Amino acid sequence: MKLALFDCDGTLVDSQNVIVAAMTRAFARAQIDLPPRKALLGIVGLSLVEAMRRLGDGDPQFPAEQLAQFYREAFHALRGEPDFAEPLFPDIRMVLDHLSAREDVVLGIATGKSQRGVAAVLSHHGLEGRFITIQTADDAPSKPHPAMVLQAMQATGAAPMDTILIGDTSFDMTMARAAGARAIGVTWGYHASDLLRSSGAERLVSDGTALLTAMDELWTWPAQGGHAETAASRAAPAESNDERG
């Protein structure tokens, strides 16, 4: 059985505007200067408290837990506003439809979102029931700890070499490789292509068709035999100059 394990924010859905809006409200409530937008998007994918700690540059006095709670409350409030949007990235529905039709593939999610947040995304886009395993910040340590991937493999019975993590951040790539899984970086998300490559991405893709091709290549590679290669030697050149990180 093959496991396609997707990150959520920056990979399945484009949530950057609502993330920045929630961060803006949280920092304003805490009366702390808001970090630059690039810094805010650079920590997307981490669990909230860990994300806030990084934004505080490791300062032990930085109120990371309080900011995380303010962010949760702001995000929940934004979700109820009429202009709230976390749209699917182009081609994502096509990719999920294609993979769901395969009898040898199961789908999963590994994300820094909460279970509630993932459920809201899936419900909004009519994707309930597509993902056999959903690993979140509620269930495991923050990325890049490999627990989410390990738990997903255990839940589905997928072997590491049959598991591909698709994500947009260095945290995703590092997490996947630490669990012994394969890693594909998408260039439409929040981290730069060079960072994805250096963190262990075996392929970089810029659209859904390229993603499906890369997944088939990686799933075929173990059966072809040969010696394991380094992550750097397997990483293909970026197919896009889109480096929104």
Asked whether the beta carbons of 115 and 138 are under 8 A apart, the reply is yes
Alpha-carbon gap, residue 92 to 244, rounded angstroms:
18
Supply the pLDDT for residue 234: 39
Supply the pLDDT for residue 27: 98
Residues present in the chain in total: 245
**Domain locations in the chain as residue ranges:** 2-14+86-234, 16-79
Q: Which has the closest alpha carbon to 113: 81, 86, 150?
A: 86
Can you spell out the DSSP letters for 179-221? TT-EEEEETTSSS-HHHHHHTT-SEEESSHHHHHHHHHHHHHG
User: For the segment 209-229, what is each residue's pLDDT rounded down to a tens digit?
Assistant: 999 999 999 999 764 433 333
Structure tokens at 8: 């959520």
Q: Is the pLDDT of residue 90 over 80?
A: yes
Alpha-carbon gap, residue 3 to 135, rounded angstroms:
13
Q: Which ranges constitute the DSSP H helices of the chain? A: 16-30, 37-42, 48-55, 64-79, 92-100, 115-124, 147-156, 170-178, 193-198, 208-220, 231-234
Alpha-carbon gap, residue 55 to 228, rounded angstroms:
37
Give the count of alpha carbons within 13 A of 85, CB side only. Answer: 6
Average pLDDT, the chain: 90
Supply the pLDDT for residue 238: 33
Supply the pLDDT for residue 222: 62
Q: Is the pLDDT of residue 175 over 60?
A: yes
Letter string b/e over residues 98-115, b meaning 16 or more CB atoms within 10 A of that residue's CB: bbeeeeebbbbbbbbbbe
Structure tokens at 22: 């929630």
Alpha-carbon gap, residue 51 to 39, rounded angstroms:
10
Residue 228 neighbours by CB distance under 10 Å: 10
Alpha-carbon gap, residue 157 to 86, rounded angstroms:
31
Three-state DSSP state, 74: helix
Supply the pLDDT for residue 58: 83
CATH topology of domain 2-14+86-234: Rossmann fold (3.40.50)
Percentage of the chain modeled with pLDDT above 70: 90
Average pLDDT over residues 119-135: 97
Supply the pLDDT for residue 242: 31
pTM: 0.87
User: For the segment 50-64, what is each residue's pLDDT rounded down to a tens digit?
Assistant: 999 999 998 999 999
Supply the pLDDT for residue 240: 32
Average pLDDT over residues 93-106: 98
Percentage of the chain modeled with pLDDT above 90: 87
Q: Is the pLDDT of residue 42 over 80?
A: yes
Domain range 16-79, CATH architecture: Orthogonal Bundle (1.10)
Supply the pLDDT for residue 221: 79
